[in-house]
Amino acid sequence: MLPAMLDLTRQKWHDISPPVSPQIAVFPGDTAYRRDVLMAFPLGNNLELSSVHTTLHLGAHVDAPSHYHPDGASLEKRDLSRYLGACEVRSVSVPPRTRLTPEHLKHVPIRAPRLLLRTGTYPDPQTWTNDFAALSPELVAWLGWQGALLVGIDTPSVDLADDAELLSHAAIFQHDLAILEGVVLDDVPDGIYLLVALPLPLVGADASPVRAILVEM
């Protein structure tokens, strides 16, 4: 019999990626998701064949440093180990349109190098709202000092919707964290998991959608 660690499907796991369809909301002004069908069985073709046109910041996705800094690496240059490994899910209570600070988290030590924050402030991936909560640069620095590799959030951005300066993105560049945005954590209890959220090796790209899962340990 296989050792349990080689058969993760025997573990309980959570899919934390919202479905991708034309209904999924994207940042206002960004390119909505569209799938064009080139060939289809109902059209008499012997195949179904399609292509997509979309922002890369779609649903559950990772941002490359080149998205938020002129000297930032593009996606294919990122070490995949950031997106694969021990991860803590932590619920936080924060009002809409506010930034999380270390004060929201400090009372319990962070237990894994990857942290996903459940704010509940972006409840429906198909309905855009500017009301979502975000990270503060202070929180990013606090995580960076503790050796964090990745920070993620259940909203479309680590910054507030109207923050043109992208303060937390800048802090994330400074502390060299990875970003996972747009995850759905509704049914995921707080705890420690194995995170799998691997980006495609899109050469030169600023982001990639991911199929993100959390495996119970």
Q: Which stretch binds Zn ion (CB under 5 A): 53-61, 69-77, 91-99, 142-150?
A: 53-61
Question: Cβ of 206: how many Cβ atoms within 10 Å?
Answer: 17
Rounded Cα gap, residues 85 and 60, in angstroms = 17
118 interacts with Zn ion by CB under 5 A: no
Query: 63 vs 88, which CB is nearer to Zn ion?
Result: 63
Supply 125's token pair: 């991936």
The whole-angstrom separation of Cα 184 and Cα 60 is: 8
Q: Which of 57, 82, 104, 169 binds Zn ion (CB under 5 A)?
A: 57
Q: Which is nearer to Zn ion, 57 or 104 (CB)?
A: 57
Which of 27, 24, 29, 94 shows the shortest CA–CA distance to 52?
24
215 close to 196: Cβ distance less than 8 angstroms: yes
Binding-site string for Zn ion from residue 9 to residue 48, where x marks contact by CB under 5 A and - marks none: ----------------------------------------
159 in contact with Zn ion (CB under 5 A): no
Residues of this chain that interact with Zn ion (CB under 5 A) are: 57, 63, 181
